Structure 1
Amino acid sequence: MVTFSPNHPSAEKTVEKSPWWSIQLFRGIINDVHRRAPYYASDWWDAWDYRVVPATIYMYFANVLPALAFSLDMFEQTKGSYGVNEVLLASVLGAVVFSFFAAQPLCIVGVTGPITVFNYTVYMIMTPRETPYMEFMCWICLWSMVMHFALAISNACNAVKWVTRFSCDIFGFYVAFIYLQMGIRVLTRQWSEGDASAYLSISIALLVLIFAYAGGFIGESHLFNHPIRVFFKDYGTPLTVIFFTGYQYFGKMRRIEVETLPITKAFFPTSDRDWFIRFWEISVGEVFLAIPFALLLTILFYFDHNVSSLISQGTEFPLKKPAGFHWDFFLLGITTGVSGILGLPAPNGLIPQAPFHTASLCVTRKVADESSETKGKFTTVVDHVVEQRVSNLAQGLLVLGTMTGPLLTVLGLIPQAVMAGLFFVMGLQALEGNGLTLKLLYLLQEDNLISPSEAFRKARLGAVWAFVAIELVGFGATFAITQTIAAVGFPVIIFILIPVRTFLMPKWFRPAELGVLDAPTASAFTLESVGGSWGNYEGDTAVSSAVDVSDMRDSVDGDAMERGSVRIDESPDQIREIERTRSKIE
């Protein structure tokens, strides 16, 4: 909720805005470019900051390692249609386009788990019909590009204001389980080299999980001193991958053959084809058959990318430069179309890499704690974020360097079991901070051991159970459909979550309870691009409302979210996420 004191200038203003459904073509794109253009030069000059260096290195590994894991899954499921080079080049395409042109260059763009599921499901549906797969995927991307343009031009991204933590938590829960499922699927393929190979692969995957997760745990804990924690946080996972790539050559294990990551010639496609897809070599009927698939892809990207952008600009980050959802979605249409023509998996905003990128660029400072209980102690808070374009571009260029011959040869040594372990790590880390997980843990705790200050106590216990049940039903429906041949339809279920939260849940829950159980994904400042914030989260009115936040840009503090006459209320999930992000930065 955003409230203004009577003396604040905005309190005397009457905000005039068109309703969300009004069509004023190009208005959102023009406003996004107009707001962000004055900061373009500073986006490059502000990169002269030490935080850019560790952020670049951290994001390179955080982007390339999951991308390699996804490439393995798509290689197996699409019979070699997509491989390492395609996935790496897709990440490079997203990084270059968004670092140079995006209104929000902090959002990391690459290949995600949901698009992996989409791609191989289309393969399973269309190849039995003897439809040329890459040509068909190209038309899906081209049609989707047109749909992206239409949505951006017609200001459809204004509906992003309705995306709350409710929808984001369900989607994040789904992504986490997709990661876990992919890890298990990789391990089930390891019996081709015999039982010994399979058992060694399982042990490697579990060891990667243990060591990489332990590194992340130490990085977020208060163990050891600050430099050691930062080292474990930034380099624990890549060092784990390096060590267990060579682990198979120790002692008697060197006699056991294990499946490794499939690679191809440097800068060449995985399959025997050119980079340019001959999309005209397909029947007219199949061209139009691609339209419903393109619609599903557009729905997926509309939700996935905008959510990634939202949480990379969450209320825990004191950002000073404006966002731009319409223009960025237009750019995403361009990268989607280019990906289809080049035969790449289409990139979009990454979760959790996008918010981790912003967190890695936070500069902290110590302030004295004035509370009566802890007076005299110091607290680490986020002072500002190094908002710039260089770290995204640099990590993309590093990914491009990974496509060279020597580095591809090194990648070919990585056991598939290491990729399975990475899937497990990503899945557990995604579950750990998820709002749905936090609510489940609250419900499973012994009642007399729950702190009296726990915010969830403000809601009826039955309301908390009902809210969690609805979230689990949404997750279950999404995950269940991906286990069938109808998996390409899962974006529709995800999209339906938004109107369920917007129009139905206010009828089922008390306003104050929704204020405790749910919250906006981003601050009103971030949502200025889409017409302002939605809802009143102390008394959730379930109606669209906008506030003029142009005068509060320098008033919003990323730590307490309260300064002067502007206050933004946060839910328990947001507070926990802020504290979790702070510990990572520290």
Structure 2
Amino acid sequence: MEKEARESPGSNTLLQDAPTARRTLSFVPKPGTGIISDVRARAPWYLSDWTDAWNYRVVPATALIFFANVLPGIAFSLDLIETTQQYTVTEVLISSFMAAFVFSVFGAQPLTIAGVTGPITVFNKTIYDIIHKQSNAPNYLHFVGWVYLWAAIIHWVTAIFNWCNAVRYVTLFSCDTFGFYVSWVYLQYGVQVITRQFSGDFEGALVGITLALLMLVTSFLFQCLSETTLFHRHIRRFFSDYGMPISLIAVSSMAYWGRFNASNPSTLPVGGAFQAANGRAWLVKFWELDGKWVGIALPFGIILWILFFFDHNVSSLIAQGSQFPLRKPPGFHYDFFLLGITTFIAGLIGVPAPNGLIPQAPIHTASLLIMGKSSQKDIDEEQQITKLSSESGNDSNGAVIKTENSFDYSVSRREVPIAVVEQRVSNLAQGSLCLVLLTGPFLHILGLVPRGVLAGLFWFMGANALKGNGITIKLLYLIRDKTLTSPNDPLKKVRKSRLLMFVAIQLVAFGATFVVTQSIAALGFPIIILLLVPLRTYVIPLLPFTQEELSILDGPTASPFTMESVGGSLHTA
């Protein structure tokens, strides 16, 4: 009977066994197996990806991710724009639209938000600094076009030969460290946006600082209100959905009120509608580059591949983390092949190459959560935990522990994630809004946004990402009053010395990455990031951790369901 069920095309058992077959994928042969498997797994859901978008959650998700994606991408590119003179805001918006269109319409993981990131702007600017100092320097966009082409070819080879299966080795250790780095990059760029204004009018710079702080505080105020028990739950969800966009619009408006307006605060530099930098043609004829520079571009292309391999796949992992109740299958191999296509197109039209975004990708998924009441099973488990913790009475410091009768019955009314609106419309819509911004009237409005507001947006997104980062959580546990630490906290089972050792390794890796980014060797930071994976897989298990401690300190980033695309998680202590 079991054999008949597996062979029956209409049986549920066949669907359950399909992931098991996917786990047999190898790293090399058979070529194309991973891509074909991803397409077959996702294709049955394609129609529902559009019909499921008929849900209100798509509206706030589109608004939130539009502001969280486009404006930081432009702000990240300010240094690149002003230094190289080869890009404008138009190129950034075109790149964001291209990524949103490709991954929302054709991608297997449409929840993953792709766009212009801080690392790619650092990468492109470093290339400019290197070749600009050379005698007989090549055309910058021609050289970058070849860098992108080499990177695209390696992307395609990676996807075809199933090398994305290496993602199975990526755990929370690497994701938390990289996320910690990205969060601090956001905070740093916020400071840089402010400090650049001091080269001009001093009063305008002070107004910029004021606007940045207002943006930061107001956004956090809305977020904090959404997490309290104040107001009706629909109002709290409204604060969570629209708090940041409202803050951005309100604070930007303040720049044109009273003495703020008199100080003439610095705003975004915008060009003509749909016009490339310096009036150049949109097609970059990079094949006209001298042969010697074509070979020199190859190592840069390899470094870009390393950056995107880790950055994009980790973004996809975090966007499909185990905390999200997803039901549609992923597709890492197929999406990485698509990333090669977008990278090639970016070089062909002379725009910054887009890739997966942190923290925007998980923000997008979180905004699509459908909340519901706790199940009776969850309530019973909470009651049991409270009962067990109450049996000890007082702790060793005399602090009173809750009794069984003090169980918080608000648990029965607590909302928990019960589903995610898995669809393609919100990603496509936020990308399409980039084209709307490129029209004359809206481009003028974009040019009115003060840079100080963007600095505050950077600080908010960076601080918000730090708040939920695994490294931050462990650091807060170390300094928390032990009498106020939950008796059910898993970290209590980890020796303090081992917890300190684990966090110290992550902080050293973060520090090395951050320092390299600030140095002349900035191009090498993707290599340090990639080395986090073998460090966790081969080195950390040799240190004096117990199997239980490692299982608590680290774990898979995504659920086994998500990891099926890369052959299943290989996380072991």
Relative to the length of structure 1, the TM-score reads 0.86
Which of residues 29, 33, 40 in structure 2 aligns to 1:27? 33
Q: How far apart in 2 are the matches of 1:29 and 1:14?
A: 16
Amino acid at match of 2:97: V
Distance in 2 separating the partners of 1:414 and 1:382: 35
What is the aligned partner in structure 1 of residue 181 from structure 2? 174
Between 29-38 and 149-158, the greater mean CA deviation after superposition: 29-38
Pick from 524, 529, 539: which aligns with 1:489? 524
CA spacing shift, 1:335–1:436, aligned 2, 3 Å? same
Cα shift at 1:439: 0.7
Matches within 5 A, 1:175-214: 175-214=182-221
**Equivalent in the alignment of 1:128:** 133
Q: In structure 2, how many angstroms separate the alpha carbons of the residues matched to 1:321 and 1:152?
A: 21
Q: Does 1:36 align with 2:71?
A: no
> Would you tell me which structure has more helix in proportion to its own residues?
2
C-alpha deviation, 1:363, in angstroms: 1.7
Shift of 1:222: 3.0
Report if the CA contact (8 A) 1:303-1:495 is conserved.
yes
The answer for the alignment partner of 2:271 in structure 1 is 264
- Equivalent in 466, 479, 494 of residue 514 of structure 2: 479
2:78 aligns with 72
How far did 1:218 drift? Answer: 2.2
Larger mean Cα displacement after TM superposition, 525-534 or 186-195? 186-195
Show the counterpart of 1:102.
107
2:391 is matched with which residue? Answer: none
Q: Which has the larger radius of gyration?
A: 2
1:18 Cα offset (Å):
4.7
Asked if 1:516 is matched to 2:552, the reply is: yes
Instruction: Structure 1 unaligned segments of length 5 or more: list them.
Output: 1-7, 541-586
Does the Cα contact within 8 Å between 1:124 and 1:485 map onto a contact in 2? no
2:368 to 333, 349, 361: 361
* Residue 314 of structure 2 is aligned to residue 307 of structure 1: yes
Partner of 2:295: 288
Task: State the AA in 2 paired with 1:351.
Answer: I
Q: Give the letter aligned to residue 164 of structure 2.
A: C
Q: Is the CA contact (8 Å cut-off) linking 1:69 and 1:422 kept in structure 2?
A: no
Partner of 1:434: 469
CA distance in 1: counterparts of 2:422 and 2:262, whole angstroms? 50
Q: Does 1:51 align with 2:87?
A: no
Partner of 2:443: 408
What is the deviation of 1:314? 1.0
2:227, 2:438 → 1: CA distance? 32
Q: Could you tell me whether the CA contact under 8 Å between 2:303 and 2:524 is conserved in 1?
A: yes
1:375 positional shift = 5.2
Q: 1:220 to 1:73 in 2, by over 3 A?
A: farther
Pair 1:85-2:120 in alignment:
no
Shift of 1:374: 4.1
Q: Distance in 1 between matches of 2:273 and 2:337?
A: 31
In structure 2, the residue matched to 1:418 is 453
Percent of residue pairs identical: 52
How far off its partner does 1:531 sit? 0.7
Q: CA 1:30–1:439 in 2, change beyond 3 Å: closer, same or farther? A: same
- Corresponding residue for residue 121 of structure 2: 116
Q: State the alpha-carbon separation in 2 of the partners of residues 386 and 248 from structure 1.
A: 37
Opposite residue 177 of structure 1, the aligned amino acid is W
Partners of 2:196 and 2:270 in 1: how far apart?
17
Q: Tell me, what secondary structure is at the counterpart of 2:273?
A: coil
Contact 1:136–1:279 (CA under 8 A) maintained in structure 2: yes
How far is 1:51 from its partner? 2.1
Q: Superposed, which structure 2 residues align to 1:312-351 within 5 Å?
A: 312-351=319-358
Give the Å deviation of 1:529.
Answer: 0.8
Q: 1:502 aligns with which of 537, 542, 551?
A: 537
Q: 1:99–1:393: 8 Å Cα contact kept in structure 2?
A: yes
Q: Is the 8 A contact 2:113 2:361 kept in 1?
A: yes
Per-residue Cα deviation, 1:157-181 (whole angstroms, up to 9, x for no partner): 0011111000001101111111111
Structure 1 residue 364 displacement after superposition: 2.0
Q: 1-side partners of 2:413 and 2:478: how far apart?
A: 33
Number of paired residues?
A: 528
Please name the residue that 1:385 is paired with: 420
Give, in angstroms, the shift of residue 228 of structure 1: 2.5
**Match of 1:476, SS?**
helix
SS at structure 1 position matched to 2:370: strand
- SS of equivalent residue, structure 1 residue 131: coil
Distance in 1, matches of 2:194 and 2:56, equals: 40
Once the two structures are TM-superposed, the CA of residue 414 in structure 1 deviates from its matched residue by 1.4
Asked if the contact 2:63–2:245 (Cα under 8 Å) also holds between the matched residues in 1, the reply is: no
CA distance in 2, matches of 1:268, 1:332: 25
3-state SS of 1:381 partner: strand
Cα deviation per residue 1:548-578 (whole Å; 9 max; x = unaligned)? xxxxxxxxxxxxxxxxxxxxxxxxxxxxxxx
Are the aligned partners of 2:23 and 2:568 in contact in 1 as well (CA < 8 Å)? no
Q: Distance in 2 between matches of 1:267 and 1:380?
A: 45
CA deviation after TM superposition for structure 1 residue 121, in Å: 1.6
**Equivalent position amino acid for 2:54 in 1:** W
CA distance in 1, matches of 2:510, 2:76: 21
Are the equivalent residues in 2 in contact too, given 1:125–1:485 (CA < 8 A)? Answer: no
Give the drift of 1:14: 9.2
Q: Residues 494 and 362 of structure 1: is their aligned pair in 2 closer, same or farther, counting only changes over 3 Å? A: same
Cα distance between partner residues in 1 of 2:113 and 2:25: 31
Aligned to 1:249: 256
Structure 2 CA distance, aligned partners of 1:52 and 1:15? Answer: 34
Q: Please give the alpha-carbon distance, in whole angstroms, between the structure 2 residues aligned to 1:232 and 1:268.
A: 37
CA distance in 1, matches of 2:325, 2:244: 28
Q: Using the alignment, how far apart are the partners of 2:170 and 2:121 within structure 1?
A: 23
Instruction: State the shift of 1:71 in Å.
Output: 3.0
Q: Cα distance, 1:20 vs. partner?
A: 4.2
Change (3 A) 1:464 1:241: same
Q: Specify the alignment match of 2:430 in structure 1.
A: 395
**Structure-2 separation of matches of 1:309 and 1:254:** 42
Aligned-pair CA distance for 1:16: 9.6
Structure 1's 72 and 234: CA in aligned 2 closer, same or farther, altered over 3 A?
farther
Distance 1:98 1:207, change over 3 A: same
Equivalent residue of 1:383, what SS?
Answer: strand
The Cα RMSD (Å) is 2.1
Provide the C-alpha distance between the structure 1 equivalents of 2:63 and 2:25, rounded to a whole number of angstroms.
43
After TM superposition, the score normalised by the length of structure 2 is: 0.88
Q: Note the C-alpha offset of 1:446.
A: 3.1
